[in-house]
Amino acid sequence: MLWLVALPLGVALVYLAARYGRFRSWLEPVLSIAVALALTAAFLVWLSEGTPEQAPAPAPTPPTAGLAASDILLENMSFEPNQSRRSYRVRGTVANTSEVALEYFRLTVTLEDCPQGTCRRIGDDTALILVRVPGGQSRPFETFLTFPFRLDEPPTAPKWSYRVSEVRGAVGR
């Protein structure tokens, strides 16, 4: 609503400054000071409201009662090299043994290269698997993982270990 007052006032000041030279000679410094004061006030308001870094972090949601990582079973896991030589396609089936419906889980996978029984750890990757599995049921899933190894040294005898690192159940369903 302030613009309804400021717009006609601004038009009037521009008209008077264009029409009368004497009016223009004192209007320029007054407007310059007014703009400087407005910018200073806007900066002070911005400082007092704070920046996003100062905003308090939202509290983490508590885990759903009755659903734990131990309630999630991973079956028929397969790891296939993808088009990118560092990327692997992971397929499997997730089974929910609890009564609470599963919304998502995080799958943490470790890749080791074990030629001739000597294992060398290559790296870990974690994927968020969005899959809704009602209690007592199972569903297939698929994701992609990427591991840091030199392109000229791909794993010759990959060994996979995996675990469910986080679960989230449906609340009130």
Domain ranges of the chain: 2-54, 69-169
3-state SS class at 137: coil
Element (H, E) at 169: strand 158-169
Q: Where are the beta strands (DSSP E) in 5-147?
A: 72-81, 87-96, 102-113, 120-133, 138-146
Assigned fold of 69-169:
Immunoglobulin-like (2.60.40)
3-state SS class at 24: helix
Contact between 129 and 141 (Cβ < 8 Å): yes
Contact between 135 and 96 (Cβ < 8 Å): yes
pLDDT in tens, the chain (173 residues): 666 777 787 788 778 878 887 877 877 887 788 888 888 888 887 777 765 555 555 655 555 456 888 899 999 999 988 777 778 899 999 999 998 999 999 999 998 888 888 888 888 899 999 999 998 999 999 999 888 766 667 778 888 899 998 899 876 54
Distance CA 143, CA 106 (A): 11
Distance CA 148, CA 136 (A): 37
Check: pTM over 0.85? Answer yes or no.
no
